[in-house]
A and B are shown apart, each in its own frame.
Chain A
Amino acid sequence: MSDRSRSIFIDVLLVGSVALFLAFLYVPIVTLVVFSFTGSRMLTLPIESWSTEWFGALLARPDFFPALKNSTLVATISMIFATVLGTAGAIAWVRFKFRFQQTFRLLTFAPLLFPQLLLGVVMLLWFSVLGQWLGFSTGLATIVIGHIVYVTPFALVIVAVQVYGYDETLEDAARDAGASGWDVFREVTLPLLWPGIFSALTFSFLLSWGNFYVSYSLGGTMRTLPTFVYSGIAVGSSPIYPALATLNFVPALILVIVADVVRRRAACRNVLPEPT
């Protein structure tokens, strides 16, 4: 093989592996979306008739709306806490130098290295013992706490990347122009970090929204959408779960794309006014 044809061969191999991996990732997702429009009860190919009846059947399930409400509530609260705590933590990670910084880093990063089920179980044990002493049982509040512990490290890493590429001379300029500490934060720091914070908000919301393990461990009798699906498919499959998948994936994809557009626009804005 000549050097040139060999290099083309490697190019094709690498690009091909990316394409194959994308296909692998999207096989179950596309399958679910296709089956959500089936007209039959059976989830097998070929699909003979098409309908949207399963969306109606999903909405008619009495336990669907409580799960939807729980998921929305949990994801919204977790998103806010994870992003605020993660942003503060990211600034401390990257911009400050202080005693016990390594301990702080380890402490705030460790949950990322934990299998989610074990994270959930460890917290379940603690809440159970605590509940026995103080007289409460697990439910939405414990799910939210679990999600905050699980999601915050992700938010922290995302914002930290933004803090890392951040030009602090702009803060100095604002301070020289007479702005107070809070004004500098609100008018300079926050807008510059905003793309990272927005990504962290999106990421946190979706991670919490789609989380199964922690909700399953800490939910008690409360159900979120993933545990609703889990207990449903344990009993038997039905086209309402593909319908739920379609309702789930489309807004999530839009959200991910919007977050990326915001980040890229801001990146262009930050690059353009290059001082000469």
Chain B
Amino acid sequence: MRIEHKSWRDPLLIGATVPLALIMILFFVVPLIMTGILTFQSSRYYRLAWTWDLTIWRDVFGHSHYWVVMLRTLGMSLACVVLSVLIAYPVAYGLATRLGSLRHHVTILITFAFLTDTVLKTFGWILVLDQNGVLNWGLSHLGFEPGAVNILFTPTATLIGMVYNLAVYPIFTLYLSLARIDRDLQLAAYDAGASRFRTFFEVTLPLSRPGLYAGAALVFVLSLGAFLEPKVMGGGNAPMASELINQSFSTRVNWPLGAALTLVLIVIGSASLALSAALTLRRRGGEQGRLSDVG
């Protein structure tokens, strides 16, 4: 791979970067700054008033209701991360090492399921989990009593929906990490007398850490904004932060409040991404250090 050094006077570089950068600045960075600014305003008679004070922030931190919903969101997101990673690891490992030529077809099937309409898939889950739905019908044929599984419109259903929509991300990041592991390292561990489990925990798992951290952080951040799953599959009984944000726009028409709640989630999300990046980098630094000690 040859890399060309470019100066900013090069028209090719300007053409390749400036339009995209402008769009991202104008419609992503500036809106973020605007969101920050709006949290210092307030809402009067359903209109935005430029007051420049801390009313909204006092409101957000002063009401226990917001705290309850935020903590619930964090709890659901953490549960979603744990489940997604536990599911994704064996799937990505199987995909990277055991499937041979089938791997390709499986990847396409996963990609297709990932790309299609989320609303329709969520609606599909309603039909599956309903008391008279597909799952209970199947179970009743296996000898369970009718209506054995009754989880629709509970947080369990919300969690199933979140894992369903997000588990694909760690599968891809873990797959990229696992497929790059040099098979010789594992063989060397076997030669040295390590058991399969020891090899996994001391060679494979540490080498797949970047994919693990990246996938976990991605699921966590994206699950903070889950809206469809709690609303449609959870039945709106246990609202998450996204529902509060949605309400502050649609029913209360309070933009500053919506902006403040959004900003809280963005800060939590960014902090967890930074943590995951720091963990990955520190590990890598540590391993390089150890290698150079040996050399």
Contacts and interface: CB of A to CB of B under 8 A. Distances in A.
Nearest to A244: B120
Contact of A229 (B24, B98, B120, B246): B120
B120 A32 contact: yes
Given A28-B124, A88-B15, A245 B98 contact: no
A96 B3 CA distance: 6
B148 interface: no
A32 B5 contact: no
B118 A212 contact: yes
Given A11-B98, A25-B113, A104-B21, A125 B121 contact: no
Interface in A233-251: 233, 237, 241-242, 244-245, 248-249
B151 interface: no
A262 B66 CA distance: 50
Interface string A95-123: 11111000010011011011111110111
B60 interface: no
Contact of B164 (A24, A46, A122, A212): A24
A59 interface: no
B115 A206 contact: yes
Interface string A258-276: 0010001000000000000
A107 B78 CA distance: 27
B27 to A, nearest CB: 5
Interface string A27-41: 111011001000000
Interface string B1-36: 111111110000101110111011101111110110
Given A21-B91, A96-B3, A115-B222, A122 B123 contact: no
Contact of B109 (A22, A32, A213): A22
Contacts of A89: 16-17, 20
B150 interface: no
B190 to A, nearest CB: 10
A207 B114 CA distance: 9
A151 B24 CA distance: 12
Interface string A123-140: 111101100100000000
A92 to B, nearest CB: 4
Given A17-B91, A122-B262, A132 B48 contact: yes
Interface residues of B, number: 90
A22 B23 contact: no
Interface size class of A (residues with CB under 8 A): 35 or more
Contacts of B130: 43-44
B211 interface: no
Contact of A115 (B2, B137, B225): B225
Interface in A68-98: 85-86, 88-89, 91-92, 94-98
A192 interface: no
Interface in B102-137: 104, 106, 108-113, 115-128, 130, 132-134, 137
Tell me whether chain A's interface is mostly helix, strand or loop, or mixed.
helix
B206 interface: no
A149 B99 CA distance: 36
Nearest to A254: B112
A10 interface: yes
B255 to A, nearest CB: 6
Nearest to A248: B117
A121 B223 CA distance: 16
Given A18-B94, A248-B120, 13 more contacts: A17-B90, A26-B113, A28-B122, A95-B2, A96-B13, A108-B20, A125-B35, A126-B30, A129-B34, A213-B225, A229-B117, A237-B127, A245-B123
Interface of A: 6-7, 10-11, 13-15, 17-18, 21-22, 24-29, 31-32, 35, 43-46, 85-86, 88-89, 91-92, 94-99, 104, 107-108, 110-111, 113-119, 121-126, 128-129, 132, 145-146, 148-149, 152, 164, 168, 203, 206-207, 209-210, 212-213, 225-227, 229-230, 233, 237, 241-242, 244-245, 248-249, 252-253, 256-257, 260, 264
Interface of B: 1-8, 13, 15-17, 19-21, 23-25, 27-32, 34-35, 38, 48, 87, 90-91, 93-95, 97-99, 104, 106, 108-113, 115-128, 130, 132-134, 137, 164, 167, 171, 196, 218, 221-228, 232, 242, 245-246, 249, 255, 258-259, 262, 265-266, 269, 273
